[in-house]
Amino acid sequence: MPSLVIIGSQWGDEGKGKIVDYLANEAHVVVRFQGGNNAGHSVKIGEELFALHHVPSGILRPGKLAVIGNGVVIDPNVLIGELDSLTSRGIKVSNLRISDRAHVIMPYHRMLDGAEEKMKKGAKVGTTGRGIGPCYSDKVSRLGVRMGDLLDPQLLAEKLDFLVPLKQRVFDAYGDPNKLDLEAIKTEYAAYGIRLKAYVTDTGAIVETALHKKKRVLFEGAQGTILDIDHGTYPFVTSSTTVAGNAASGSGISPLMLDDVYGVVKAYTTRVGEGPFPTELHDSMGSKIAQKGGEFGTTTGRARRCGWLDLVVTKYANSLSGFTGIAMTKIDVLSGFDELKVCTHYMLDGKKVTRIPADLRQLARCEPKYQTLRGWEDIDEKEMTKILKKGYSELPRNMKRYVQFVEKQIGVRVVLLGLGRRRNEILDLRKGKWK
- Spatial contact of 338 and 35, defined as CB atoms under 8 Å apart: no
Which of 8, 40, 69, 307 contacts Mg ion by CB under 5 A?
Answer: 40
Which of 5, 9, 10, 15 contacts ligand GDP by CB under 6 A?
Answer: 15
Report in angstroms the alpha-carbon separations of 415 from 386, 404, 412, 425, 427. Answer: 19, 12, 9, 14, 8
The neighbour count for residue 397, using CB atoms within 10 Å, is: 9
315-344 residues in contact with ligand GDP (CB under 6 A) are 329-330, 332-333
Euclidean distance between CA atoms 264 and 116, whole angstroms: 32
- Spatial contact of 185 and 167, defined as CB atoms under 8 Å apart: no
Answer with the entry of ligand IMO, ligand GDP, Mg ion, none that 420 interacts with (C-beta below 5 to 8 A by kind): ligand GDP
Q: Name 200's bridge partners.
A: 98
Angle between the N-to-C axes of helices 397-410 and 311-321, in degrees from 0 to 180, rounded to the nearest 10? 50
Is residue 53 close enough to count as binding ligand GDP by CB under 6 A? no
11-30 residues in contact with ligand IMO (CB under 6 A) are 11-13
The distance from CA 171 to its chain's CA centroid, rounded to whole angstroms, is 30
Query: CB-wise, 187 or 424, nearer to ligand GDP?
Result: 424
Choose the binding region for ligand GDP from 9-17, 317-325, 385-393, 402-410 (rule: CB under 6 A).
9-17
Is residue 44 close enough to count as binding ligand GDP by CB under 6 A? yes
Euclidean distance between CA atoms 126 and 123, whole angstroms: 9
Name the minimum Å distance from CB 399 to ligand IMO: 25
Which of 86, 244, 272, 417 contacts ligand IMO by CB under 6 A?
Answer: 272
Answer with the entry of ligand GDP, ligand IMO, Mg ion, none that 238 interacts with (C-beta below 5 to 8 A by kind): ligand IMO
Answer with the entry of ligand IMO, Mg ion, ligand GDP, none that 335 interacts with (C-beta below 5 to 8 A by kind): none
Closest CB to ligand IMO: residue number = 273
Number of residues that bind ligand GDP (CB under 6 A): 22
- Spatial contact of 268 and 333, defined as CB atoms under 8 Å apart: yes
H/E element holding 249?
helix 246-249
The mark string for 202-241 relative to ligand IMO (x by CB under 6 A, - otherwise) is --------------------xxx--x----------xx--
- Spatial contact of 49 and 76, defined as CB atoms under 8 Å apart: no
262-321 residues in contact with Mg ion (CB under 5 A) are 298
Euclidean distance between CA atoms 80 and 177, whole angstroms: 29
Query: CB-wise, 76 or 148, nearer to ligand IMO?
Result: 76
Query: CB-wise, 316 or 337, nearer to ligand IMO?
Result: 316
- Spatial contact of 29 and 216, defined as CB atoms under 8 Å apart: yes
Residue 106 neighbours by CB under 8 Å, 6+ apart: 131, 135, 145, 163, 167, 185, 189
Is residue 345 close enough to count as binding ligand GDP by CB under 6 A? no
The neighbour count for residue 400, using CB atoms within 10 Å, is: 15
Query: CB-wise, 13 or 274, nearer to Mg ion?
Result: 13
Which residues have a catalytic role annotated? Answer: 13, 41
126-185 residues in contact with ligand GDP (CB under 6 A) are none
Buried b (16+ CB within 10 A) or exposed e, 269-293: bbbbbbbebbbbbeeebbeebbebb
Name the minimum Å distance from CB 349 to ligand GDP: 35
Name the minimum Å distance from CB 176 to ligand GDP: 31
Query: CB-wise, 13 or 21, nearer to Mg ion?
Result: 13
Is residue 132 close enough to count as binding ligand IMO by CB under 6 A? yes
Euclidean distance between CA atoms 175 and 182, whole angstroms: 19
Binding residues vs ligand IMO (CB under 6 A) = 8, 11-13, 38-41, 125-128, 130, 132-133, 222-224, 227, 238-239, 272-273, 298
Binding residues vs ligand GDP (CB under 6 A) = 8, 12-18, 40-42, 44, 294, 298, 329-330, 332-333, 418-421
Binding residues vs Mg ion (CB under 5 A) = 13, 40, 298
